[in-house]
Structure 1
Amino acid sequence: MQSVQSVQSVRPVRPVAVPAADAGGRSVLEGAFGLLGALERAQVAGLTRLAADCGLPKTTAHRLLEQLVDLGAVERCAGGYRMGPRLFRLGQRWQPHPGLRAATWESARRLAQLTGAMVGVNVLREGQTLVLDWTAGEPDTVRDRLRHDVVWPWFTAAGKVLVAGAHPRLPVGPQPAAWEREAAVVREEGVAFDREELVTGVCCVAVPLKGPGGVTVAALSVVTDSGHRLDRLADVVQRAGRAISAGLRSR
């Protein structure tokens, strides 16, 4: 008797036959990524809503969605469609700098144990703070309030560190009038803070992670409740950041 794995491995995949562009002149890739973006926002949605959100004919949207299902990028569910496991697996492999995940994993784990806080490794993409990895401390006092979101505005503590060390014309949207002065302080002190600026009861300390040439490639952040002294946490986080940066430079 064939094993389940061997049967699944030879399951036929529906042939893909698509035109170079849909009726509106958009490329197939644009249409497919538009649908994926709509699913990212909605989490679960039906064909009619997805087609309307993307400005695609329903027949085109249906064809693209079914092809994405065949590829494992989307899966069917009771509400219509949702993201598929293949995108999750591919996303877990992404890192913006070679060796970043390997260089940060052990230090982030130790920092979470030492502080009892959530530790994040963050990068800046499309004007937003993107959390590459979360490591939860014990006890975890802020997880429910953060909902483990992975995309935040640029002005998180981690985002401040990243924007302060980035190109001056980096597109991050409107900046407060006092930002230039604050950015200069962040660069000089090598640390940024969020004192309940985004989420009530949640505070954050972040430091830059620097690769070869001293270029900031990511930020290390510790997220905790408002009962902690951020100035005391800052020294611990800075030491961890320097150790990770040394590892990144050696790679």
Structure 2
Amino acid sequence: MPRPVLQDTSSSLRRALALLDAFSGERRELSVRQLAERSGVTRSTAHRLAKELVEWGGLERTPGGLRLGVKLFELGAMAPSPTSLREAAVPYLHTLHEVTQLTANLAVREGGEIVYLEKISTRQLRVPHTRLGGRGTLHATALGKAILAFTEDDVDLDALAPTMTRLTAHTITDPAALARELGRVRSQRVAYDVEESKEGLFCVAAPITSGRGPVLGALSVTGATALSHAERFAPTVMATAAAISRSLELRAA
């Protein structure tokens, strides 16, 4: 009987992808044992697949174990991305960072999370925060709430409930409470995260649109805690988001 090549390849592919997915911003170097534990594959399989990934260039050996390889960077550079949004937003983000002296962020929604497209950090932000290309929650970040509030399709918050994990004592985990919060965001066109995603941080975000179309993403500034302090930056964040939105509208005209 012929060997079911596609089925075997698919299974091996899923396991290899699980190995790659085991890495994170906090764990950029892993041993084979750690790869096996974090991916859920056996150690012998992890060892075999890691060897093949090293030969292909997807992984690189280090004195302490393994890390992601240059091949993945090459492929990632060719992957489609919201290029026009990032290109339009980056100059404004630099100005926002300079004016506020806070970390400026740009993010888009991907499924049930946000992905950070750009981050201009400030040395004054000493609390560990997100990273470029990293992900965040929709319900506990100002960026996520700004995007959710202006999403054209009705957002099923009850369906989102299982992902609404409590990250701090201030995290909103009740769909009804989040619905009220999103109503406020729509009314004021600004979203806040005051120690909802991480203790010691506030974030102020505003949505980015293109004309009357759907929300494209959001930008924010992040800094020290206190709602009164955060509210001081709301007009600047909103004006920057409006300027980017206008720029995108002119580009599309």
TM-score range normalised by the length of the shorter chain: 0.7 to 0.9
Q: Shift of the alpha carbon at 1:91?
A: 4.2
Cα distance, 1:200–1:62 mapped onto 2, change above 3 Å: closer
Q: Which residue of 1 aligns with 2:67?
A: 82
The answer to whether the 8 Å contact 1:73/1:83 transfers is yes
Q: Which residue of 2 aligns with 1:30?
A: 14
Cα distance, 1:119–1:214 mapped onto 2, change above 3 Å: same
Which string of whole-angstrom CA distances, capped at 9 and with x for unpartnered residues, describes residues 57-98 of structure 1?
Answer: 444433332332233321111232112233345446656434
The answer to whether the 8 Å contact 2:31/2:64 transfers is yes
- Look at both structures and tell me which one has the larger radius of gyration over its CA atoms: 1
- For the aligned residue pairs, the C-alpha RMSD in angstroms reads 2.6
The answer to whether the 8 Å contact 2:60/2:67 transfers is yes
The answer to whether the 8 Å contact 1:153/1:159 transfers is yes
TM-score by length of 2: 0.78
Q: Which residue of 2 aligns with 1:222?
A: 221
SS, match of residue 206 in structure 2: strand
Counterpart of 2:242 in structure 1: which amino acid? R
Q: Which moved more, 1:27-36 or 1:85-94?
A: 85-94
The answer to whether the 8 Å contact 2:204/2:222 transfers is yes
1:169 and 2:156 matched: yes
1:131 and 2:98 matched: no
Q: Which residue of 2 aligns with 1:146?
A: 128
The answer to whether the 8 Å contact 1:20/1:28 transfers is no
SS, match of residue 197 in structure 1: coil
Q: Shift of the alpha carbon at 1:157?
A: 0.6
Q: Which residue of 2 aligns with 1:56?
A: 41
> Superposition pairs for residues 178-193 of structure 1, below 5 Å?
178-193=177-192
Q: Shift of the alpha carbon at 1:39?
A: 2.5
Q: Which residue of 2 aligns with 1:110?
A: 95
The answer to whether the 8 Å contact 2:211/2:246 transfers is no
1:47 and 2:32 matched: yes
Q: In structure 2, what is the Cα distance between the partners aligned to 1:47 and 1:201?
A: 35
- Give unpaired runs (5+ residues) of structure 1: 1-18
Cα distance, 1:32–1:115 mapped onto 2, change above 3 Å: same
> Superposition pairs for residues 209-248 of structure 1, below 5 Å?
209-211=208-210, 213-226=212-225, 229-248=229-248
Counterpart of 1:107 in structure 2: which amino acid? Y
Cα distance, 1:37–1:151 mapped onto 2, change above 3 Å: same
SS, match of residue 146 in structure 1: coil
> Superposition pairs for residues 187-206 of structure 1, below 5 Å?
187-206=186-205
Percentage of pairs with the same residue = 31
Q: Which residue of 2 aligns with 1:122?
A: 107
TM-score by length of 1: 0.79
SS, match of residue 217 in structure 1: strand
Cα distance, 1:95–1:159 mapped onto 2, change above 3 Å: farther
Q: How many residues align?
A: 228
- Give unpaired runs (5+ residues) of structure 2: 165-172
Q: In structure 2, what is the Cα distance between the partners aligned to 1:21 and 1:80?
A: 30
SS, match of residue 104 in structure 1: helix
Q: In structure 1, what is the Cα distance between the partners aligned to 2:130 and 2:181?
A: 27
